[in-house]
Amino acid sequence: MSELADFRAETRAWLEDNCPPGARGPGPVSNGSTKIEITDPDTVLWLERMVEKGWTVPNWPVEYGGGGLDNDQYLVLLEEMASINARPALSSFGTSMIGPTLLEFGTDDQKARHLPRIARAELEWCQGYSEPGSGSDLASLSTRAVDNGDHFLINGQKIWTSGAHNADWMFCLVRTDPDVPKHEGISFVLLPMDQPGVEVRPIRMISGESPFNETFFTDAIARKEDLVGELNKGWTVGKRLLQHERSGMESLVSGGAKGDEMSLVDEARRWIGEESGAIADASYRNQVLKYEMDNHVFRMTQRRAVEESEGGTPGAATSIFKVYGTELQQTYYDLLLKMRGVRGFPDTISGGDTTSQGRELEDTKQWLFYRAASIYSGSNEVQRNIIAKRVLGLPD
Ligand SMILES: Cc1cc2nc3c(=O)[nH]c(=O)nc-3n(C[C@H](O)[C@H](O)[C@H](O)COP(=O)(O)OP(=O)(O)OC[C@H]3O[C@@H](n4cnc5c(N)ncnc54)[C@H](O)[C@@H]3O)c2cc1C
């Protein structure tokens, strides 16, 4: 047997023995936050075992809590996890955004202090980029950081800060030189959230939930040792982080199995019905199969990108993944909701005249949530601009 075939056999056996039944298929996934308690025993056990193995971040170096897998081994692990429908043990801003960014731009000290804690699910991060008036035009941001000896003093406001209320640390873009062209006066800093100068105010949505926040800084402190990259060169670091975010590699780490979604074919059989083993309605049959094929091709393309970039995140081409991936997610939920019709509404709205239960209600919430997917992480219109300029080389 080749070495890779040996690795596959060992991985399959390890997963079979160690991935508890309750960690397969849809269910909770830890993000590492010290402020959220995961109580499901199988989810907790799965996380412990994956941490010990270094497979919460399979392709990070072992010294930083990773699995040290090479590209081929990493892809084998993803395939084997997908084959048993294993959920990711950890899914966080740490593993998908700031971790890979620190691996590229962090000092040895920053890597040693922050990466192992991310890998061991000991804390969660939030992203301090957007400001009122600086969303798509992010480089116009005005949150000010002033040199104050061994630290920066930060004053200003961020907005739409997802999960800031549960985060332990923030990675943040700040203006350190207001007198140069806008891209050249930005720095990238890390700061703890639990300090007097940081105030988090939840933004309440029409649903009553508050997944994101306004974050105010009044003389907040970021230590100089937590400046990532050079002073005033933060735009390069911040852009690279966005590529990690937009790549959707996180869903690949889940083995390509989307933890929260059932097969659309199974859903169609359930809601539309079957005739001789096929989805009964020809129009839905076509739409569902087109979605399944597009989704399959998308996963293969992502996988090819991982192979070609030797396990790393591609560059500007990640904007293609962001646009296509988010539109696919919207198509999935549009189709699902259309198939269910009124059965997707909560009983309180439909007057109790439906079969809607927890799962269906969750899907309806997801359908609403994914309207935001073509906005967050940079709107899809802006991604199309990036694809035009940076991938296709079209004139500005
Ligand atoms: C659910 C959710 C979570 C978020 N989480 C975070 C977070 O954790 N941290 C964070 O920092 N930010 C976060 N954001 C903010 C997000 O990054 C911004 O909403 C996004 O970048 C768009 O900025 P904006 O809302 O200011 O819209 P604007 O920039 O005001 O854009 C308004 C509209 O104009 C279009 N537009 C703007 N410029 C152009 C252009 N040049 N060409 C074509 N069209 C253009 C946009 O596509 C959009 O449709 C989140 C947003 C959402 C919805």
pLDDT digits (tens, 9 = 90+) for 32-74: 999 999 999 999 999 999 999 999 999 999 999 999 999 889 8
Beta strands in 144-254 (DSSP E): 144-147, 151-159, 169-175, 186-192, 198-203, 212-223, 227-228
- Minimal CA–CA distance to 303: which of 66, 15, 78? 78
**Is residue 208 in some structural domain?**
yes
Bridge-based pairing state of the strands 151-159 and 212-223? antiparallel
CA distance 340 to 356: 9
- 202 shares its domain with 312: no
**385 Cβ closer than 6 Å to some ligand 1 atom:** yes
Q: Is the pLDDT of residue 333 over 70?
A: yes
- 360 shares its domain with 267: yes
Bridge-based pairing state of the strands 125-128 and 169-175? parallel
Supply the residue whose CA is at minimum distance from atom 24 of ligand 1.
135
- 224 shares its domain with 292: no
Which residues neighbour 96 within 8 Å (Cβ) at sequence distance 6 or greater?
Answer: 244, 245, 249, 250, 253
At 258 the pLDDT is 46
**251 Cβ closer than 6 Å to some ligand 1 atom:** no
Residue written as token pair 């699995």: 67
Supply the residue whose CA is at minimum distance from atom 30 of ligand 1.
135
Please report, for residues 162, 208, 371, the alpha-carbon distance to residue 376 in angstroms, rounded to integers and kept in the order given.
Answer: 10, 20, 10
* Catalytic residue flag (residue 245): yes
Q: Which residues pair with 91 in a beta bridge?
A: none
**161 Cβ closer than 6 Å to some ligand 1 atom:** yes
Write the CATH number for 165. 2.40.110.10
- 52 shares its domain with 138: no
More confident residue, 75 or 293: 293
**Is residue 120 in some structural domain?**
no
At 357 the pLDDT is 62
The structure tokens listed for 199 are: 């105030």
- 162 shares its domain with 93: no
**Is residue 380 in some structural domain?**
yes
CA distance 53 to 60: 12
CA distance 272 to 282: 10
Region 6-19: what's the mean pLDDT?
Answer: 98
H or E element, residue 338:
helix 318-340
Best mutation site among 96, 125, 129, 136 for ligand 1 pocket (most ligand atoms within 8 Å of CB) = 136
Q: Which atom in ligand 1 lies closest to the alpha carbon of residue 378? A: 21
Ligand 1: centre distance to CA 380 (Å): 9
**368 Cβ closer than 6 Å to some ligand 1 atom:** no
CA distance 99 to 377: 17
The model's confidence at residue 261, banded by pLDDT at 50, 70 and 90, is low
**Is residue 116 in some structural domain?**
no
Write the CATH number for 341. 1.20.140.10
Residue written as token pair 């989810």: 43
Supply the residue whose CA is at minimum distance from atom 16 of ligand 1.
376
Segments forming the whole domain that contains residue 275: 261-391
At 257 the pLDDT is 43
- Find the length of the chain: 396
At 346 the pLDDT is 62
pTM of the model: 0.92
Q: Is the pLDDT of residue 94 over 50?
A: yes
Q: Is the pLDDT of residue 250 over 70?
A: no
Catalytic residue among 80, 124, 131, 245: 245
- Segment among 156-160, 241-245, 256-260, 315-319 with least mean pLDDT: 256-260
Q: What is the mean pLDDT of the chain?
A: 91
Q: Is the pLDDT of residue 354 over 50?
A: no
Q: Which atom in ligand 1 lies closest to the alpha carbon of residue 158? A: 11
Ligand 1: centre distance to CA 213 (Å): 14
- Segment among 116-125, 235-244, 306-315, 354-363 with least mean pLDDT: 354-363
CA distance 69 to 48: 19
Helix (H, G, I), strand (E, B) or coil at 93: helix
**Is residue 108 in some structural domain?**
no
**209 Cβ closer than 6 Å to some ligand 1 atom:** no
Domains in the chain: how many in total? 3
At 304 the pLDDT is 83
Q: Is the pLDDT of residue 256 over 60?
A: no
